[in-house]
Amino acid sequence: MIPYYTRFSLLAFILLILQILVFDNIHLFGFSNPAIYILIFITYRLDLDQFGFIAIGFFAGLFLDLVTQSPGAHSIAGVSIAFLRPIISRFALGANFNQPNTLSTGSLWSNKMVYIFLMILTHQLIFSFMLYFNMAHLWVIIKHTVANTFFSFVLITASLTLFQTKK
């Protein structure tokens, strides 16, 4: 059995590379980039220590920032979503929000969807705000957030269904 952290880092690395090479080149309607790498933040085991998770969020974002030359938006969104995740999971998943296998078996389908949706929405909102960094562009920010959230949600739920771990 491979240790969890090894498996997780491998998955994270693959997702980041996929994001850079494939999904950043998809421009739906000319402006929308689906963000598959949010799967890193969604699938990280819910019962593990948050301290390490915040660091992971930052470094995953930093890697994307360096490669795509974006001004810090990915790292800030990553570190924020890692910090906010307990609040979202407690709201969406209810009583068993910090169980290890909540995402695969332990909760209702609707709860999981709400959890995934809120994670993506929060991440994309922070990300777009950091990218534009100006309230004068609020309308553009909202447009980007809504479109990106929608397509990322479709992609992420699809890939979660495809690669579900069988128990």
Partner 1 sequence: MQWVLNAIIRYKNFLLFLFLFNLGLYISGTQSSYHNSQIAKSSLVISGFIHQPFRQLNSYFDLADENKRLVEENNALKNRELVRSYQTGVLPRRNRNSGSSQYWSKSAKIIRNSFTQSRNILLIDKGSNDSIDREMGVIGPKGIIGIVNQTSGNYASVLSILYRNLKINAKFKKSNVFGSLFWQGDNPHEMQLSDIASINVVEIGDTLVTGGMSSYFPEGVPIGKVKSFELLENGGYYDISVSLFNNMTDLEYVYVIGNKDRGEIIELLEREP
Interface ranges with partner 1 (CB under 8 A): 20-21, 24-25, 27, 30-33, 50-51, 54-55, 57-58, 61-62, 65-73, 75-76, 79-80, 82-83, 130-133, 137, 140
CA atoms within 13 A on the CB side of 5: 5
Question: Residues 78, 60: contact at Cβ < 8 Å?
Answer: yes
Residue 52 or 94 having the CB closest to partner 1: 52
> Among candidates 119, 124, 150, which has minimal Cα distance to 39?
119
The CB-of-27 to partner 1 minimum distance in angstroms stands at: 6
Closest to partner 1 by CB, 58 or 117 = 58
8 A C-beta contact, residue 94 and residue 112: no
Least distance between partner 1 and beta carbon 155 (Å):
17
Contact (CB, 8 A) for 75 and 92: no
CB of 13 to partner 1, least distance (A): 12
Q: Which is nearer to partner 1, 55 or 154 (CB)?
A: 55
CA atoms within 13 A on the CB side of 75: 13
Q: How far is the CB of 61 from partner 1 (least distance, A)?
A: 7
